[in-house]
């Protein structure tokens, strides 16, 4: 018998469910289990999800103390007791659903897209890149904006002005792109509340479900600032 505890981030109530071994198999994910519990035992469970395949980034929650995607986490990998809570460092809307607006406001504040020059605005040719130019930003491009890194970050927890790992990661991704012409994006992060707040705990990279290394992106932004600006 397995115990599954689900904490409502708004009321702080914890509901406990006994789950029999026969109810899960080797492939059952936490998301599937929560949906089953909602359908069969407690229709008041509130959660958010969409793709069920680690693409949309909407099912982030803290599972046994670690921010994870519920659709990517196998129940059998978690032991006899499972505690599920909403993401930390964000307000809860209801149940297990975090309010991601503060996360996306910071993400948007770094201009997370290419800014070209006038010629690129009215392109007359393809702006091709070499393999090495693509490699400079490729791994940072795999972010799905799930917010797990934001939830895991100890600096976000103590400094609400810190943009957070995902925002700095995407700032690096576009600034390191040979087609980008926006030096301001990283210069705006050159403040005590910006990249210099990071103490390299590395928890962002540890929890990222897509293999992105936002901690490395933050250090690369610091390095480029020390060398004068754009990566
Ligand atoms: S860097 Fe990773 S953990 Fe952070 S938002 Fe992107 S995919 Fe999620
Ligand atoms: S439901 Fe889309 S990432 Fe989990």
- pLDDT tens, per residue, the chain with 231 residues: 999 999 999 999 999 999 999 999 999 999 999 999 999 999 999 999 999 999 999 999 999 999 999 999 999 999 999 999 999 999 999 999 999 999 999 999 999 999 998 888 888 889 899 999 999 999 999 999 999 999 999 999 999 999 999 999 999 999 999 999 999 999 999 999 999 999 999 999 999 999 999 999 999 999 999 998 888
**Could you give phi then psi for residue 75, rounded to 5 degrees?**
-60, -40
Domain shared by 144 and 201, yes or no: yes
Ligand 2 pocket residue status of 30, Cβ below 6 Å: no
Ligand 2 pocket residue status of 147, Cβ below 6 Å: no
Farthest CA pair distance, the chain:
65
Residue among 210, 215, 220, 221 to mutate when testing ligand 1 (max atoms within 8 A of CB): 210
C-alpha 85/C-alpha 65 separation (Å) is 8
- Decide if 38 is inside a domain: yes
Domain shared by 109 and 148, yes or no: yes
C-alpha 198/C-alpha 27 separation (Å) is 37
Indicate the number of domains in the chain. Answer: 2
C-alpha 111/C-alpha 170 separation (Å) is 9
């Amino acid at each position: 018998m397995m115990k599954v505890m689900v904490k409502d981030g708004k009321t702080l109530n914890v509901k406990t469910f006994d789950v029999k071994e026969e109810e899960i198999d080797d492939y059952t994910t936490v998301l599937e289990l929560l949906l089953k519990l909602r359908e069969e035992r407690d229709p008041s469970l509130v959660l958010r999800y969409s793709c069920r395949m680690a693409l949309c980034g909407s099912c982030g929650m803290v599972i046994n103390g670690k921010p994870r995607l519920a659709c990517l986490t196998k129940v059998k990998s978690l032991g006899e007791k499972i505690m599920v809570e909403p993401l930390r460092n964000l307000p809860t809307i209801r149940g297990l659903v975090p309010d991601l607006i503060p996360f996306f406001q910071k993400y948007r504040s770094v201009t997370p897209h290419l800014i070209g020059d006038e010629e690129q605005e009215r392109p007359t040719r393809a702006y091709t890149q070499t393999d090495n130019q693509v490699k400079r930003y490729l791994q940072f491009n795999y972010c799905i904006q799930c917010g797990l890194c934001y939830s895991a970050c100890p600096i976000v927890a103590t400094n609400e002005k810190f943009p957070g790992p995902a925002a700095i990661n995407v700032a690096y991704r576009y600034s390191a792109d040979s087609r980008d012409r926006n030096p301001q994006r990283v210069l705006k992060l050159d403040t005590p509340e910006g990249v210099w707040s990071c103490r390299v705990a590395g928890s962002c990279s540890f929890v990222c479900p897509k293999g992105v290394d936002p901690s490395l992106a933050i250090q690369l932004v610091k390095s480029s600032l020390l060398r004068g600006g754009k990566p």
